[in-house]
Amino acid sequence: MSTAPHTSLTAHVMPIEIGEHVLRCGFIGQQPVLALADGQVVFVKEDGLTRTRPHGDAAILLAHIRHDQILTGGEDGRVIRSLADGRIDELGNEKGRWIDALTASATGAVAWSTGKHITARDSKGEIRTREAPSTVQGLSFLPKGYRLAYSHYNGASLWFPNSEANPDSLEWKGSHIDISSSPDGRFVVTSMQENTLHGWRLSDKKDMRMSGYPAKIRSLSWSHDGDWLATSGAEAAVIWPFKDKDGPMGKPPRECGVRPAKITQVAFHPNALVLAIGYEDNCILLCRLTDAAELLVRVPVKGQGSITALAWDKTGKKLVFGTSEGAAGLLTLP
């Protein structure tokens, strides 16, 4: 337990009246945007909230936010891109099948999956599809080139959608859920059904096991320099060192933000070694890696659920968050 008194930033948090489970949040430019489970996309503007329903009456299952757009996948089987001015366009339609995974690259490529079926759409709108060996659970573009990593049962695969070649496979027994690659593209990490992380060094496919979590790890965040991977799933943010060529092998992880509540979301600051940590009791802390100093962003409020979404803006001056019970807020650093 951390006993040091927190310096508080709570006075700098502006509450946002949301009212529904927040799936994901982020920024389009300076403007916070939140995707809600009931199907709304909410833009937070100077003069109030603009609520849209890109999927009509259908619920949103997944969202991915880039600097200029928000992508949503719905229970209606559609993948929709919304822009800040309210324009929307449909990128995909899987005819009522739930969209299981969704991602986008920094350069405008988009990918989604339903069951075993993966669709990759490059920045020009060219579509390629592929069947995975089993249901795809996670999708992530590698930082370099047009290459998609996808997780499934018994491992993950790396696919160049524009190539006829078969995907490169990364094998490890078990069910792999979320997938993420390090910012330098050297490592791919998945979260697994059995409350562990699995990693591969891509140069030689060397396996890395990161275990000891009491719950599933559903939030992963890389530091801006790519040296650290912060993870949820325990009563402390567990932060693995990836700087060396062996990644975290043989090294203990760092821990910060220890509280008697499980961590549900982590988000590294875009240009400093500061981690935003969201808990199951909707508390939020900022933790500085260099000296473990903590700053309080949000005091837990009973009945407001767990933190389900947490994201910094590009400059690192603002942090937006949302909870499973529809509470949300915007921190502006002083």
Partner 1 sequence: MTEKIPVTVLTGYLGAGKTTLLNRILTEPHGKKFAVVVNEFGEVGIDNDLVVGADEEVFEMNNGCICCTVRGDLIRIIEGLMRRKGRFDGIIVETTGLADPAPVAQTFFVDQDVSEKTRLDAVITVVDAKWLGERLKDAPEARNQIAFADVIILNKIDLVSADELATVEAQIRTINPYATLHKTERSAVNLEAVLGRNAFDLDRILDIEPDFLEPGHHHHHSAEIGSIALTVPGDINPEKFMPWINEFTQTHGPDILRCKGILSFKNEPKRFVFQGVHMILDGDLQRDWKPDELRQSKMVFIGRKLDRAMIEKAVEATRA
Q: Which residues make up the interface to partner 1 (CB under 8 A)?
A: 20-21, 23, 37-38, 59, 61, 75, 96-98, 100, 115-116, 134-135, 137, 153, 173-175, 192-194, 215-216, 324
Cβ-based nearer residue to partner 1, 38 or 255: 38
Those residues with Cβ within 8 angstroms of residue 96's Cβ, 6 or more apart along the chain or in another chain: 76, 77
Taking Cα atoms as reference points, which of 230, 233, 208, 229 lies closest to residue 218? 233
Minimum CB separation from partner 1 for residue 175, in Å? 5
Supply the minimum distance, in Å, between the C-beta of residue 121 and partner 1. Answer: 22
The residues pairing with 140 across neighbouring beta strands, listed in sequence order, are 149
Minimum CB distance to partner 1 smaller for 2 or for 195: 195
Minimal distance, residue 36 CB to partner 1, in Å: 9
CB of 177 to partner 1, least distance (A): 9
- Min. distance of Cβ 235 from partner 1 in angstroms? 15
191 CB contacts (<8 Å, ≥6 apart)? 138, 176, 177, 178, 197, 216, 217, 218, 220, 231, 233
3-state secondary structure of 281: coil
Nearer to partner 1, 20 or 227 (CB): 20
Q: Which residue carries 């988009």 as its tokens?
A: 110
Question: Please, what is the minimum distance in Å from the beta carbon of residue 108 to partner 1?
Answer: 27
Nearer to partner 1, 9 or 36 (CB): 36
**DSSP notation for 21-85:** -EEEEEEETTEEEEEETTS-EEEEETTEEEEE-TTTTSPEEEEEEETTEEEEEETTSEEEEE-TT
Q: With respect to partner 1, which residue has the nearer C-beta, 116 or 128?
A: 116
Nearer to partner 1, 194 or 244 (CB): 194
How does DSSP classify residue 293? -
Amino acid letter, residue 224? H
Shortest distance, position 266 Cβ to partner 1, whole Å: 18
Contact between 70 and 64 under an 8 Å Cβ cutoff? The reply is: yes
How far is Cα 241 from Cα 199, in angstroms, rounded to an integer? 12
SS3 75: coil
Q: What is the CA radius of gyration of the chain?
A: 19
| Smallest separation (angstroms) from partner 1 to the CB of 170 | 16
User: Quick count: other Cβ atoms within 10 Å of Cβ 169?
Assistant: 14
Distances (CA, A) of 13 to 199, 295, 320: 36, 13, 9
Residue 293's CB is within 10 A of a number of other CB atoms, namely: 14
Q: Which is nearer to partner 1, 44 or 61 (CB)?
A: 61
Of the two residues 48 and 260, which places its CB atom closer to partner 1 in the complex?
260
